[in-house]
Structure 1
Amino acid sequence: MKIIIVGCGKIGVTLAEQLNSEHHDITLIDSDGAALQAVTDRIDVMGVTGNGAVYQVQMEAGIKEADLLIATTNSDELNMLCCLIAKKAGNCHTIARIRNPEYSAEINYIREELNLSLAINPELAAAREIARLLRFPSAIKIEPFAKGRIELLKFLIPEKSVLNNMKIMDVVSRMHSNVLICAVERGSDVMIPDGNFEMRSGDKISFLAPHAESADFFRKAGIVNNTVKTAMFVGGGKITYYLSKALADTKIKIRIIEKNEERCRELSELLPGAMIIHGDGSDQKLLLEEGIRQTEAFASLTGFDEENIMLSLYAASQSNAKLITKVNKIAFENVINSLNLGSVIYPKLVTADIILQYVRGMQNSMGSNVETLYKIVADQAEALEFRVMEDSPVVGVPLEKLPLIDHLLVACINRKGRIIMPRGKDTIEPGDTVIIVTTHTGLNDLGDIIK
């Protein structure tokens, strides 16, 4: 597909890299010629210097032939204007990044009136992910599938867990849990395990399970999963605001430490249920006074990656709190993953995943389409949910007889709301949605799973 991306900031560049790796024809528009040059030197994309909201600049970028325009500049209004002009000039699909909390209440109206295909708010998407983690603190990552009926959870096997040295095939018989272990991270390796694979303490395990089953599995594996009752957030930005709003219906007592006095006043009006503390979140004395040793969850959500990482490491040294660390830059990911930072949230990756999911669904016309897409590990493994059409080549054939490509697992079948953890005799039928876990990135159609 021909895709135009306006704005080569963090999200624009991340999208350009990922969409380019999936062989789309990408054109980047940005008014900063030097920044644009740096990106086009590094990845094989076209660059057009200029204001993306100007008709002539969009024409130069090829809006007439474009299938999709994605506006990711720092200005919500400019993004909306870019999409409006693209719709008139090229009649293509449009996606706008809209971050201002004032617009979030009216997002459906804005989307309809501007005829946007998708309006995305990175901070709101990241806050929703954090809220899910605080409701299920033993997990490092939680992704919902099948409209929330089933979840993909990632957790770390602790030292004395019953899972240590257990083979995958023994999990169901020995633990009587209806879960399917679908990916294992060991050091820098990512594997789709077979039944003979032996798990070890220190492995990061991703498994699929219905919501009720996952809590049961954690209990049987000896992993404590008490719901969080107290949480401390450092940094009072947009993510903290959206997160506190998302947790308003829970009984979690929230403390927010924010350096800017004016922002503290704003937050105290916007979030009457939270305790707002004016102070420097990197001040150890303040953190101890405010109860960092007693808090059950700690999220470092400032605008500086280095500060967030140091704060989480300090929190880990002082307490057993559920840790959440916001990181904006994806560089040094291997180093970050080796540190004890709990759940690491990359807002731009959350955003890129949602947009990639939309693009995959858009380009798919063959027999099925991608309903949901999550990266289990940045560029190494994906979990995809496909809708099955009548003429798909996988329909009606028992799974044990399907010549599936290597490093791929049919992890779950959702048949009209009934969740099936598939075995060899099970078949895929029209109307099902099917979850596939694989280390092959870029699958676009359910037919792609066959050799």
Structure 2
Amino acid sequence: MNVIILGAGQVGSSVAEHLASEENDITMIDVDASRLAEVANRIEMRTLVGNAASPRLLEQAGARDCDLLVAVTQSDQTNLCASLIAKRLFNVPRSIVRVRAADYTAFQELLGEEAFAVDFAICPEQIVCEYIVRLVNHPGVLQLLDFANGAVQLAAVRAERGGKLVGHPIKALRYHLPNVEMRVAAIYRHGVPIIPEGDTVIHPGDELFFLASAGQIPALLRELRPAERRGSRVMIAGGGNIGMRLAKMLERDYRVKLIEYNKQRAQQLAVELTDTLVLAGDATDEHLLDREGIEEVDHFLAVTNDDENNIMGAALAKRLGAKKTLAIINRSAYVDLVQGETIDIAISPALVTIGALLKHVRRGDVAAVHRLRRGAAEAIEIVVHGNAQTSKVVGRRIDQIRWPPGVTVAAIVREETVADEEAASPARKQKRVVMAHHDTVIEEGDHVILFCTQRRRVREIEKLFAVGFGFF
């Protein structure tokens, strides 16, 4: 696939890295030659220096033969203009555009075919904020991801001493929670993936990924780690786009304090945030944190634009008594160094955002993609099409299908027709979650949720679910 990426920032370089590893031909455009060179040193691709919205430069980049345009520069105007030019002049079939300003996303007609001709619009800041809010609402979870429009959730949890199931095999879960339908998709022990079996014993420190119907995650958490209360006090370090959005989303349900270094920005935030206490100061100032009662804070969220400040602020908050700390870290190499040691959760915004992009890049009908383990693994929700003659999976039991190594079928979401008890009422559709077993049969229309510990196997998964003219 020929892909043009506009913007060599964190999002653009992350998209390029992931797409290049999957054998796509990539051309990247940016005004900053040094930034392009830095990305090109890591990734095999073609680069062009200049204005990403220039028709001449887009043509030079190969827009006439382009399959996908990914416009993720820092400028909304540049991204939207480039999408329009790519569609109108070069008939690019698909465009994904980064739009940060709420002014654009509030008026969807601006993004439609008659205006800027955007196929898919993403706002990384909003995606990251929604991700963080889910973690705040579920203390003890390292990742919490939705599938099938929220009908199924995938949670990553680190097992700790004191958890009821720690030291026992996975199959003991059915006796502890007989009414909870769940599936352990993968276990990572000392960073190494383990295919879970019923007799696999859970050790302290194991990182478990399990799927369950929405609402059942808290019961599973209690089996793997000591009980934790949700808490009510949140402190946010950084009043940029993410910090402001987070405060707005959390201030309805939590007592929120926000620390912003820039006094003028702090004054603006104090006017805009009605139920948040805004403080002008340095989030790495021990005396400020102590004065504002850091030992009573349930969640300290470091979301400034500076990785070092986020690491230092979160580490200091943890040392001073904050119960849970979370830091945004743009350099992915830092994430593994600090998570679980000085900081409870480290988040790479690029990895959180990449799933929203990948579901529009994957071949086949992919409903959701989530990167796990800092991008080493992937969870995919793929819709099944075809029949027994045209598909390699339809009408077959899971144990009859030749799955690529490292792939686990975790669950199936199936839409069923349910007759209403009242005869006058029409039948209605409802989703049913089926936890996958060896004898589960895959049907047309199923949403199959897969866990892949080896990202290079993704292409094999896509081919497996592809619909052919005939399969014998």
Cα 1:255/1:332, change in 2 over 3 Å: closer
Q: Of 438, 448, 451, which residue of structure 1 is paired with 2:464?
A: 448
> Does the aligned pair in 2 maintain the 1:188–1:334 contact within 8 Å?
no
Cα 1:278/1:320, change in 2 over 3 Å: closer
Q: Counterpart of 1:109?
A: 109
Q: Counterpart of 1:433?
A: 447
Q: Which amino acid aligns with 1:341?
A: I
User: How much does 1:446 deviate?
Assistant: 5.3
Q: Which amino acid aligns with 2:91?
A: N
Q: Counterpart of 1:219?
A: 222
> Does the aligned pair in 1 maintain the 2:382–2:448 contact within 8 Å?
yes
Q: Of 341, 353, 356, which residue of structure 1 is paired with 2:355?
A: 353
Q: Which amino acid aligns with 2:396?
A: V
User: How much does 1:73 deviate?
Assistant: 1.4
User: How much does 1:320 deviate?
Assistant: 5.0
Q: Of 324, 327, 339, which residue of structure 1 is paired with 2:326?
A: 324
The DSSP-based 3-state class of the residue aligned with 1:281 is coil
Task: Point out where structure 1 has 5 or more consecutive residues left out of the alignment.
Answer: none
Q: Counterpart of 2:410?
A: 411
Q: Counterpart of 1:205?
A: 208
Q: Counterpart of 1:388?
A: 384
Q: Which amino acid aligns with 2:235?
A: M
Q: Counterpart of 1:150?
A: 152
- Of residues 11-20 and 153-162 in structure 1, the stretch that sits farther from structure 2 once superposed is 153-162
Q: Which amino acid aligns with 2:36?
A: L
> Does the aligned pair in 1 maintain the 2:392–2:401 contact within 8 Å?
no
Q: Counterpart of 1:37?
A: 37
CA distance in 2, matches of 1:323, 1:257: 15
The DSSP-based 3-state class of the residue aligned with 2:132 is helix
Deviations 1:372-400 (Å, cap 9, x if unpaired)?
01111123211100101123311122223
Q: Which amino acid aligns with 1:293?
A: E
Q: Counterpart of 1:421?
A: 435
Cα 1:401/1:169, change in 2 over 3 Å: farther
Cα 1:220/1:199, change in 2 over 3 Å: closer
- Of residues 398-407 and 110-119 in structure 1, the stretch that sits farther from structure 2 once superposed is 398-407
CA distance in 2, matches of 1:251, 1:333: 29
Q: Counterpart of 1:78?
A: 78
Task: Point out where structure 2 has 5 or more consecutive residues left out of the alignment.
Answer: 416-430, 467-472
CA distance in 2, matches of 1:313, 1:190: 28
- Of residues 430-439 and 91-100 in structure 1, the stretch that sits farther from structure 2 once superposed is 91-100
Cα 1:348/1:146, change in 2 over 3 Å: same
Deviations 1:48-90 (Å, cap 9, x if unpaired)?
2221111111110000000111111111111111111111122
User: How much does 1:306 deviate?
Assistant: 1.0
- Of residues 237-246 and 285-294 in structure 1, the stretch that sits farther from structure 2 once superposed is 237-246
Deviations 1:363-422 (Å, cap 9, x if unpaired)?
33xxxx211011111232111001011233111222233333332211011011111112
CA distance in 1, matches of 2:70, 2:436: 38
- Give RMSD over aligned pairs: 1.9
CA distance in 1, matches of 2:122, 2:155: 24
> Does the aligned pair in 1 maintain the 2:238–2:304 contact within 8 Å?
yes
Query: TM-score, normalising length from structure 2?
Result: 0.89
The DSSP-based 3-state class of the residue aligned with 1:127 is helix
Q: Counterpart of 2:58?
A: 58
The DSSP-based 3-state class of the residue aligned with 1:158 is coil
CA distance in 2, matches of 1:415, 1:382: 21
Matched, 1:336 2:338: yes
Alignment of 1:17-32 (within 5 A): 17-32=17-32
Q: Counterpart of 2:372?
A: 376
> Does the aligned pair in 2 maintain the 1:381–1:439 contact within 8 Å?
yes
> Does the aligned pair in 1 maintain the 2:243–2:304 contact within 8 Å?
no
The DSSP-based 3-state class of the residue aligned with 1:339 is coil
Aligned positions, number: 442
Q: Of 196, 200, 216, which residue of structure 2 is paired with 1:193?
A: 196
User: How much does 1:314 deviate?
Assistant: 1.7
Alignment of 1:168-317 (within 5 A): 168-176=170-178, 177-248=180-251, 250-317=252-319
User: How much does 1:160 deviate?
Assistant: 2.3
The DSSP-based 3-state class of the residue aligned with 1:96 is strand
Deviations 1:90-135 (Å, cap 9, x if unpaired)?
22111221223444433x2332131201111111110010111111
> Does the aligned pair in 1 maintain the 2:382–2:449 contact within 8 Å?
yes
- Identity of counterpart residues, as a percentage? 30
Deviations 1:214-254 (Å, cap 9, x if unpaired)?
11222344532422311010111111111122224x42111
Q: Which amino acid aligns with 1:374?
A: H
The DSSP-based 3-state class of the residue aligned with 1:212 is coil
Q: Which amino acid aligns with 1:191?
A: I
Deviations 1:258-305 (Å, cap 9, x if unpaired)?
111111121122211111111111111110111110011110111111
Query: TM-score, normalising length from structure 1?
Result: 0.93
- Of residues 143-152 and 194-203 in structure 1, the stretch that sits farther from structure 2 once superposed is 194-203
> Does the aligned pair in 1 maintain the 2:164–2:222 contact within 8 Å?
no
- Of residues 34-43 and 288-297 in structure 1, the stretch that sits farther from structure 2 once superposed is 34-43
The DSSP-based 3-state class of the residue aligned with 1:358 is coil
CA distance in 2, matches of 1:214, 1:34: 46
Q: Which amino acid aligns with 2:248?
A: K
Q: Which amino acid aligns with 2:383?
A: R
Cα 1:41/1:294, change in 2 over 3 Å: closer
User: How much does 1:333 deviate?
Assistant: 3.6
> Does the aligned pair in 1 maintain the 2:140–2:228 contact within 8 Å?
yes
CA distance in 2, matches of 1:394, 1:420: 16
The DSSP-based 3-state class of the residue aligned with 1:424 is coil
Q: Which amino acid aligns with 1:403?
A: R
